[in-house]
Amino acid sequence: MTNTPSRKIVVFSGGSAANSLVDVFNELIERNNCTLSYIIPISDNGGSSSELIRVFGGPGIGDIRSRLVRLIPPTNAPILHFFNHRLPPSSVQASAEFLTLLDLTSPLYQPIPTPQALLIRSIFSHLHLEILKRIRPPSSTFNFQSAAIGNLFLTGARLLTGSFESAIYLLAIIGGVDESRTAVLPAIVSNFTHHISAGLTDGTIITGQNAISHPSAPTALPESPNVPIHSHSAAQDPSTTATFQPLASSKPPLQNHPPVSAYPIEDATLPGSLPTLRASQLQFSKSADQPLPAPISRIWYINPYGQEMQPAPNPKALVAIQASDAVIYSIGSLYTSLAPSLILQGIGAAVAHGPRFKILILNGSLDRETGGFEGVDFIKAVVRCCDASISSLSSTSSSSIVNDDQISNNDNDAMKTRAKSYITHLIYIEHPTAPSVDRARLVEWGIEGVRLYGRKGADDKMRYDEKALGQALGAILGRRDGRERSRRNTLEFG
């Protein structure tokens, strides 16, 4: 007789970075008899996701696919390997390999049972039909370069069923993911694309998640920090990956469109959309940490024309948060992995009034989005995002968002109250290259600090020891006293 899970955990995360903690979370739900729901944004517009968005529209599926594939159990290794595979970086070779997925000659099918292989092939056949309906060579084409097979499958399944949730369910079922224990919830359920913008403290705006987090080669940032979206250079260059405009502008200026011949491509992009949202972003660097010209002030959603919008979250995500015993803000890109979920309408209120434990796991190192940050800056960012999700229910004005100066200088008492509403525990690595943590400030704000000693990875960045992190999370969820010891790492509370 199987024990019915008695606890519920929600994890806010993005894709690749938090994948390294999936085993920790899996062990956590087994040891504590829990269910776990991942809430993952759909604003990803880089890599092969950008080509699928350009041609078909729809949500950014890269992070969803990444987590689903990571959750496929090792006992289903052939399926895991299949959906984790990428087509070659050469567009010609990639197109040729895709054809082998259609005629079942791909060696990837060999270890997969025939019923599953035929089901998968049927999804690719439908995707192929949809591609053929849209291409108009030589201008309008589809580029298979470096495409993730899992992304192609999810897109084909979504187009076939008309439902993003159905596509997720189908991949999970084929992969053997136990959805009774672990659910992957898109932050927004939609067949439409949702892009984000970032406002920097110097007034600059960067448009598109990929431009915010991953500079394209050689750079996503022009030499001039304030190039408006209607500038001649931005409009004439569809390969530009970042859009800049003054942050104070309440309405985007009219764009001076280039001649029609400059955009001979027919795709899913609506007429009049920002040129940078149409650009292909197949090439970018995940390892480059070129700093932004100024810190990020806030994140918001935009429509294709650059206007701010406030989408509602996936209702299942809200229910999961309200019913949870704990929410965990996982490692990853603060502003492009966590913020796009936290700023959605009502998320902040659900976090504040639902779970008992609210655990922020700090990254082991700083990145492009968080250069110069200390632990308190991560806390402030989470508070601003959750506050924004609450204010969006009653106001459409960005003036309701509290900035750093107001928080640190004019509203410290209110900040302390809000901080402990959204965060009860902060887990961090103590190391010179990791974000520093002011433990006295944590005590002042009513947040309990949990210090761990990590290990250095191959890239010289600090990583959490999985055993120690699992023990720390388990101790927070179920401990009765204030301290617990690990043989390898010290867990220090308080």
Per-residue pLDDT reduced to its tens digit, 404-429: 444 444 456 777 788 999 999 999 99
Q: What are phi and psi of 31, to 5 degrees?
A: -70, -30
Q: How far is CA 414 from CA 299, 422, 463, in A?
A: 22, 13, 34
The answer to whether 212 and 198 are in contact (CB under 8 A) is yes
Lowest mean pLDDT among 23-27, 137-141, 168-172, 302-306: 137-141
Coil, strand or helix at 427: strand
The answer to whether 126 and 146 are in contact (CB under 8 A) is no
Rounded CA separation 248/274 (Å): 18
Name the E strands within 386-473.
425-429, 448-452, 455-456, 462-463
Radius of gyration over alpha carbons of the chain, in Å?
Answer: 23
- Across 53-57, 135-139, 313-317, which has the greatest mean pLDDT? 313-317
> Which strand (E) or helix (H) includes residue 65?
helix 62-71
- Mean pLDDT within 320-349: 97
Whether the pTM exceeds 0.75: the reply is yes
> According to the model, what pLDDT value does residue 1 have?
45
> According to the model, what pLDDT value does residue 494 have?
57
- Mean pLDDT within 103-127: 98
DSSP state of 336: I
Residue 245 CB contacts under 8 Å (≥ 6 apart), including other chains: 205, 226, 227, 228, 229, 252, 253, 306
Which residue carries 């301290």 as its tokens? 483
Rounded CA separation 48/207 (Å): 18
Q: At residue 59, does pLDDT exceed 50?
A: yes
What are the strands of the beta sheet with 484-485, ordered from one edge?
182-186, 34-40, 7-12, 326-329, 357-361, 425-429, 448-452, 490-493, 484-485
DSSP state of 327: E
Q: At residue 20, does pLDDT exceed 50?
A: yes
